[in-house]
Structure 1
Amino acid sequence: MSDITQQRTLSTQIPGPRSAELQQRKLATVSDGVGTGLPVYVERAEGGILRDVDGNQLIDLASGIAVTTVGNRNPRVMEAVRRQVEDFTHTCFMVTPYEEYLQVCEALAELTPGDHAKKSALFNSGAEAVENAVKIARHATGRTAVVAFEHGYHGRTNLTMALTAKNMPYKDGFGPFAPEVYRAPMAYPYRWPTGPKQCADEAFEAFTSTVHAQVGEHNTAAVIIEPIQGEGGFIVPPEGWLRRVSEWCTEHGILLIADEVQSGFCRTGDWFACEHEGVVPDLMTTAKGIAGGMPLAAVTGRAELMDAVHGGGLGGTYGGNPVACAAALASIESMREDDLCARAKEIEAILTARLQTLADKTGVIGDIRGRGAMVAAELVSDLDLKTPAAELTAAVNKACHARGVVTLTCGTYGNVFRFLPPLTISDELLGEAMDVLDEAFAEALG
């Protein structure tokens, strides 16, 4: 039985004395390159609550960056992990395989879009999945160029840093980066120069002309896109744009890679965000929410593409670890049995209504966007000029933290508040978190 009640409790200031003590140990032994957004040290968590070492209970609107989608200490996940640990923890699938790996790949073949034959390969992280998707695309097509988009984020390895758009903190000083990566304009309705109504057509034309002029369609192995961009600011392209990109790729023999690392597994109200427009990618990368907090990632794609790579060309020591696979199967069961796609849409309705009220009251929210439980508010200091309000965003974030709500910011300009609550969070807890957000805005705005 758990002793964590699903309510916010503040026993000390945030962070408390014990967390402050642990933070000093972190500074002494952990690289400064590993940042901490909120130095509160968690000792236990369940559902939508994180309890720290000082006894404070914080409302979790981050889910470990979209990882604990089914909630911390999900009973199905805990039991599956317990059973698997009792059996064995590792053999390396490439040495002596096990059924759990197969079961995850079978589930991915069933769940991912499209009725074609599909195969998967399992890895540890989203960046690893993206890197392997590019390897597969290049090997299968015999082409080398990969096109990514402005504001995109795909990871922190050398190749994925090349794909990622934002310099700080992800790329600065780490180059040179992997070659044959090109960047096209993103369909960003709120900031499209001629306005959101023109965005779909003009952004598509800008994309195709960029590839034609700077890369050459015949040189392009793949186009990689987050159906809803994550770190870049939860940018949702206009309706129809992604489908046009997909059709254009097919026309030119270019593979479409959907990076669903942050948006996948019920987060947006569909199993995968690209399903919203019926887009069927050639390759898809998943991670984060797939395994209830355990490290697991996958590349899933058309069988002929996945089989184009020679034996031994894909893999890794820990990829598809049996404990992580067991957790993934239990997470998927929870998503199905508890209808978390529907729950994501309920959360969307609550968040967007509260954010719209806040926007009307404060006059500093220029755009509210997202789908499901992947919702964001872009803060500006001038609604007409759309001037990014990064300092205000940071101040609101800090005020939320001090009141015991774990929040996240993102965006190329550092001015986007993003909401990624576990899909198991209660309406009451979510409402309380939004009450705190109201208070934080009031404090930051003076």
Structure 2
Amino acid sequence: MSHETISQSISVVHPITLSHGKNAEVWDTDGKRYIDFVGGIGVLNLGHCHPRIVAAIQQQATRLTHYAFNAAGHEPYLELMNRLAQFVPVSYPLSGMLTNSGAEAAENALKIARGATGKTAIIAFDGGFHGRTLATLNLNGKVAPYKQRVGVLPGPVYHLPYPSRDTGVSSEQALQALARLFSVEIDVNDVAAFIFEPVQGEAGFLAMEPDFAKALRSFCDQHGILIIVDEIQSGFGRTGQRFAFPRLGIEPDLLLLAKSIAGGMPLGAVVGRKALVDNLPKGGLGGTYSGNPMACAAALATLDEMSDANLSTWGERQEAALVSRFERWQASKLSPYLGRLTGTGAMRGIELLKADGTPATEQLAQLLAAARSAGLLLMPSGSARHIIRLLAPLTIEPEVFEEGLDILERCLAELG
């Protein structure tokens, strides 16, 4: 099928056309089978076409396919928001709104933060990714390709180094950068919010240092600044628990949700402290398709599957299999390009480096092609596209996961 009608500004990692999928396996239009370690870029934590989610969508399609919540409420939206208020592990009364995507959730969080604080400046972090809309572009801690040739971006936005064992930036160094920022660049009283991912996705699964997060929480409480935590990729079980922020020992003021919230249906949310989320005038939040009934039905079925016991079992099983295999690769010196295992829990990346410690970008491109040819789909990430981002469904059958790791092992060994 021709791609002539598709914008050439869209970058497609794998030059194949998919036909159908089942849990962690997909087939292209030529009938070739692939093990899927991409998962729709973190959208399919419960796999392709989960029976419970498919049934919920089918049933809802016979009842109500759409209604704009701004015009009249509907049961799936109301029920989902009540369920999310119970599912998000915070100690305060929570409310929020549903959106069509993660970027839309981030945009609305910026509006909420401005309305609640009367301030406009936002502090984000190097390597962060929060979307491709105009406002979220400026939050991203990376220029190419997202900020190129789009002109002046909405602001003001400032960036700090991201403290993580995976970046080599310590909590102390990040706090020093924060002190410099408020000494040299901007008055602390002009800042509405900090925004960060507890585990950065696009950057290659880099986990924030808990000590920094706790210090930042104290700093923000002292100065009346909000914390927006972006769990669009790390949420809904990706690390082996509901969300990644509890490992930091803090609670966010606003939380961004999307990706695996609804088994592949387009849905996102911004939720948080009720007084904050309720601060804008009537009509200040909303959207025609936001909280579509069928997407809400899929999300409700998703939450039914995401018990703490299931998430823990799936996450621990996947983490154990991957860490064990990676340690074996390291011990056997499988590849001269094998770097670190990044991330935490079941949210992991594999870094490829050259002998001089620089990113092995070309070798990762070779690996993607070789793995695809062998029947495994992988996703690149990292500042130089040198980190394999592993996003296999949490529900992947253990034997299929091992089969995928076998393919990855062979392809790593053959890297020239």
**2:11 pairs with 1:38:** no
- The 5 A counterparts of 1:36-435 are 36-192=12-168, 199-336=170-307, 339-360=310-331, 361=333, 362-382=335-355, 385-435=356-406
Does the Cα contact within 8 Å between 1:399 and 1:443 map onto a contact in 2?
Answer: no
Is the alpha carbon distance of 1:29 and 1:223 closer, same or farther for their aligned partners in structure 2, counting shifts above 3 Å? same
Question: Aligned equivalents of 1:431 and 1:33: distance in 2?
Answer: 35
Q: More displaced, 361-370 or 259-268? A: 361-370
C-alpha distance in 1 between matches for 2:53 and 2:211: 37
Give structure 2 stretches of 5+ with no counterpart.
none
1:143 & 1:206 partners in 2: Cα distance? 21
TM-superposed CA distance for 1:137, in Å, is 0.4
CA positional deviation for 1:112: 1.4
Cα distance in 2, alignment partners of residues 162 and 415 from structure 1: 23
Q: CA deviation at 1:337?
A: 7.9
The sequence identity of aligned pairs, in percent, is 39
SS of the residue corresponding to residue 91 of structure 2 reads: coil
Q: Counterpart amino acid of 2:63?
A: D
The CA distance in 2 between the partners of 1:77 and 1:332, in whole Å, is 10
Partners of 1:211 and 1:262 in 2: CA distance = 30
- The superposition leaves residues 187-223 of structure 1 with CA deviations (integer Å, 9 ceiling, x where unpaired) of 143443xxx6xx1222222234324431221110000
- Give 1:338 deviation, angstroms: 6.6
Does structure 2 retain, via aligned residues, the 8 Å contact 1:123–1:129? yes
Cα shift readout 1:45-71 (whole Å, capped 9, x = no counterpart): 111100111111110101101101111
Letter in 2 for 1:165: G
Shift of the 338–41 alpha-carbon distance from structure 1 to 2, 3 Å rule, reads farther
Query: Aligned with 2:151: secondary structure?
Result: coil
**Which residue identity lines up with residue 248 of structure 1 in the other structure?**
F
Contact 2:166 2:342 in 1 (8 A): no
* Cα distance in 1, alignment partners of residues 44 and 271 from structure 2: 21
Per-residue CA deviation, residues 156-207 of structure 1 (Å, 9 max, x unaligned), is 0000000112222222111211121111111143443xxx6xx122222223
3-state SS of paired residue (1:50): strand
Q: CA deviation at 1:441?
A: 1.3
| 8 A Cα contact 1:256 1:283, kept in partner | yes
The match for 2:5 is 29
Check conservation: 2:166, 2:343, Cα contact below 8 A.
no
Partner of 1:377, secondary structure, is strand
3-state secondary structure, aligned to 2:62: helix
In the alignment, the residues of structure 2 paired with residue 216 and residue 378 of structure 1 have an alpha-carbon distance, to the nearest angstrom, of 38
Q: Is the 8 A contact 1:113 1:279 kept in 2?
A: no
Residue 40 of structure 1: CA displacement? 1.7
Q: Is the 8 Å Cα contact of residues 204 and 342 (structure 2) preserved in structure 1? A: no
Structure 1: gaps of 5 or more residues: 1-21
What SS does the aligned partner of 1:378 have?
A: strand
Supply the AA of the counterpart residue of 1:369: T
Show CA shifts across 1:19-64 (max 9, x none). xxx2xx11x1111112211122111111110011111111010110
Q: 1:216 to 1:356 in 2, by over 3 A?
A: farther
Contact in 2 for aligned 1:270/1:276 (Cα 8 Å): no
The CA distance in 2 between the partners of 1:113 and 1:57, in whole Å, is 39
CA contact (8 A) 1:143 1:219 kept: yes
Aligned to 1:339, the other structure's residue is in SS state helix
- TM-score normalised to structure 2 length: 0.96
What is the alpha-carbon distance in structure 1 between the residues aligned to residue 107 and residue 344 of structure 2? 26
Amino acid at match of 1:379: L
Please list the CA deviations of residues 363-416 of structure 1 after superposition, one character each: whole Å capped at 9, or x if unmatched.
Answer: 42332121232100111113xx53111111111111111111010010112111
Divergent runs of 4+, >4 A: none
Q: Deviations over 1:274-312 (max 9, x none)?
A: 011332000000000000000000000100000101110
Structure 1 counterpart SS, 2:180? helix
Deviations 1:144-164 (A, max 9, x none): 100000001010000000011
For the aligned residue pairs, the C-alpha RMSD in angstroms reads 1.4
Does the 8 A contact of 1:104 with 1:328 survive in 2?
yes
Partner Cα distance (1:402, 1:316) in 2: 42
Tell me the distance in 1 between the aligned counterparts of 2:92 and 2:167. Answer: 37
Secondary structure in 1 matching 2:392: coil
